[in-house]
A and B are shown apart, each in its own frame.
Chain A
């Protein structure tokens, strides 16, 4: 039986750090598309998934397995064909309305006509709140972009833009953080560095996070649990990630980490 197979230890509920943020409940979720007349594509098939408050969940899978669709459904960007998504008991639209979601995409989606600082000020303005300049500067410092406040996105490297995008997603201290392949467009070296950065940033916050990625290494390094999806739109396996927090760069060099990475990669390709 493929569905719901668990590899490694299931560390759900024993993370031992402060938990903040809402829990995610996905029940019997399905999403169907009609790209052409008479052709129906099932992107997600009867998916069940639960994420605890403060848990970091990663989703890996081959292209076209529906992982991005899943994220879009959680973000309220798309509507389910059947089933439900609940964040802290409420529908995604409710959280969107209250500006409680943080999101970062593979494209940084920074506005090219605004400076970094003003881009980070944007979430406040969109929520109709007074801009908290201290918080903005704090976040810029946190992601290592200190001194780049007045810079335009076009003058930053790809990695720096993604740092800014992630900082922006944290501005309003969201209940849930959604990351859609945020480092997908970067080279391996920058990616690895940003993974370590993200682990550090996340360490003190522990927001409920959903990360979609095609890098198994990234998923296992950052998450408490990794879900392996398969085409079309179903869960092949759930991996409990046994490594203690905080996650350090040394972990990336350990044998145990490499073994788990190989195992999951094998699972992905079979």
Chain B
């Protein structure tokens, strides 16, 4: 059914209403004390968040977490795409790497924690964990994307005398871009999760660390403020990735 303009506006209105309702519910719950001292009202959290001292602390930690997530995203994606390209050209080796990637995906990050803090340092663990989380997602996205070029187009290229390398460059990579962009959305969230989890293994700074310490020291408002900041950051990154995906789809999609 086609979305008429009235339908689309009502959809956006409902979405906005949902968000407002959620915040209002939270505010009411906090003010009425239903959740006890551990559920503060939205307004209190906001006050704590924007108080200059806490804001500076959170901003510093945020930049550390962001850096880990971003580096993890970069390394994980690059390695994944590179490996996918190599595997495309060396197809007999592919099943083995697919199996490994599967195992990596099924591995709970917590299990990797001990290994990583030994192999790398405690401060590098967030980046590496983020990279590992990103790797599998982007590898699958790249592999499916590279394999997804329509066979008819592939035949056309072969007809023009293109070898595998040329075909890769001119056909398979461009047609893989929409898959990669869509995988990037999930990868962005995964990188944040990896970074936060990695920080819980003893990183010197970061939002995950703040959340954990605040929880243990019963600094409720600080904890909520840190969580709110994390959520906002990851949400923004996700929306940025989603916008990128739309742009890539328009340019390279069907």
Contact = CB atoms under 8 A, between A and B. Distances in A.
A256 B6 CA distance: 52
Interface residues of A, number: 5
Contacts of B4: 33-36
A175 B110 CA distance: 65
Contacts of A253: none
Contacts of B2: 35
B108 interface: no
Nearest to B5: A37
Contacts, number: 9
Interface string A218-234: 00000000000000000
Interface in A6-46: 33-37
9 contacts: A33-B4, A34-B4, A34-B5, A34-B6, A35-B2, A35-B4, A36-B4, A36-B5, A37-B5
Interface string B5-34: 110000000000000000000000000000
A36 B2 CA distance: 10
A36 B6 CA distance: 9
B95 to A, nearest CB: 28
A34 B2 CA distance: 11
A33 B5 CA distance: 12
B8 to A, nearest CB: 10
A37 B4 CA distance: 8
A252 to B, nearest CB: 37
A46 to B, nearest CB: 23
A43 to B, nearest CB: 13
A37 B5 CA distance: 6
A35 B5 CA distance: 7
Nearest to A36: B5
In the complex, which of the residues B2, B4, B6 has the most CB atoms of chain A within 10 Å of its own CB atom? B4
Contacts of A36: 4-5
